[in-house]
Amino acid sequence: MSRDVTSDILKRLRSIEGHVGGIARMVESDQYCVDILNQIVAVQRALDKVNSRVLDRHLHTCATTAIRGDDPDERERVIGEILNVFKRAGKR
C-alpha cells in the first residue's frame, strides 16, 4: 500500500483501539447500556470505513495486477477472494 493510505488506515485503527478501550471503561463504570450499544455501533461503522479503504487499495493494486495478468487461475483466485470478502462482510 502507498504510504499515505497506510498511514490513514493506521491512524483510523489506532483511534478505533482507543475507542474500544473507552467502551471498556464505560462498562467498568456501569454506564447506561444503550449508550454502550451506541458506542459499539460507532466502532463498527469506523471499521466499515477501514474495510472499504483496504478493499479500495486491494482492487487498485493486487487485484488489478492479477486480473490484467496472463494466468487464468490467478485471475480466478483473486475474483473468488473478492466475492468471499463480500459474503463474509454480509454474513456476520
Minimum separation from the CB atom of position 92 to a copy of itself (A): 5
Tell me the closest approach of the beta carbon of residue 37 to a copy of itself, in angstroms: 5
Beta strands in the chain (DSSP E): none
**Minimum distance from residue 73 beta carbon to a copy of itself (Å):** 14
Residue 75 near residue 66, CB atoms below 8 Å: yes
Interface with a copy of itself (CB under 8 A): 1, 6, 9-10, 13-14, 16-17, 20-21, 23-24, 27-28, 30, 32-34, 36-38, 40-41, 43-45, 47-48, 50-52, 54-64, 67-68, 75, 79, 81-83, 85-92
Q: How far is the CB of 76 from a copy of itself (least distance, A)?
A: 9
Any idea which residue has 473478492 for its cell?
82
Q: Is 65 in a helix, a strand, or coil?
A: helix
Contacts of 66 (CB under 8 A, 6+ apart): 74, 75, 77, 78
Burial class (CB in 10 A: 0-12, 13-18, 19+), 78: buried
Q: Which lies closer to a copy of itself via its Cβ, residue 21 or residue 73?
A: 21
